[in-house]
Amino acid sequence: MSSTTSKAQRIGIIVIAIVMAIGTIGSFFIMIVASKNQEIDLKEQTEKKAKLSEAIKKYQQENEEFQKKVTAEANELGPKYLAEVESYKSYAQPFDGSKVTELGIKDLKQGDGNEVKTPDDMRAYYIGWNDKGKIFDTSAKDGKMSAPFNPSSAIPGWQRGVIGMKIGGVRELTIPANLAYGDKSRGEDIPKNSPLKFIIFAIEKSNLKAPELPKDLLSEGGSL
Nearest to 114 by CA among 196, 169, 156, 185: 169
% of the chain surpassing 90 pLDDT: 55
Q: Number of C-alpha atoms within 13 angstroms, CB side, residue 27? A: 6
This prediction's pTM: 0.70
On whether the CB atoms of residues 132 and 196 are closer than 8 A, the answer is: no
Q: Where are the alpha helices (DSSP H) in the chain?
A: 2-87, 156-161, 215-221
Q: How far apart are the C-alpha atoms of 55 and 52, rounded to whole Å?
A: 5
Q: How far apart are the C-alpha atoms of 137 and 102, rounded to whole Å?
A: 22
| Residue positions counted in the chain | 224
Q: How far apart are the C-alpha atoms of 162 and 150, rounded to whole Å?
A: 11
Q: Is the pLDDT of residue 223 over 50?
A: no
The predicted-structure confidence for 78-92, as pLDDT tens digits, reads as follows 899 999 999 999 999
The predicted-structure confidence for 40-72, as pLDDT tens digits, reads as follows 677 777 877 777 778 778 888 888 888 888 888
pLDDT band at 131, cuts 50/70/90?
very high
**Three-state DSSP class for 141?**
strand
CA 124 to chain centre: 19
- Least trusted range by pLDDT, from 22-31, 160-169, 206-215: 22-31
On whether the CB atoms of residues 174 and 100 are closer than 8 A, the answer is: yes
Q: How far apart are the C-alpha atoms of 203 and 60, rounded to whole Å?
A: 28
On whether the CB atoms of residues 211 and 63 are closer than 8 A, the answer is: yes
Residue type present at position 148: P
pLDDT computed for residue 14 by the predictor: 59
Residue 182 DSSP class: T
Domain range summary for the chain, segments of one domain joined by +: 88-204
Strand partners of residue 106? 172
Exposure pattern of 89-103 as b/e (b: 16+ CB <10 Å)?
eeebeebebeebeeb
The predicted-structure confidence for 182-200, as pLDDT tens digits, reads as follows 999 999 999 999 999 999 9
Q: Spell out the CATH class of 88-204.
A: alpha beta
On whether the CB atoms of residues 199 and 135 are closer than 8 A, the answer is: no
Neighbours of 139 (CB within 10 A): 21
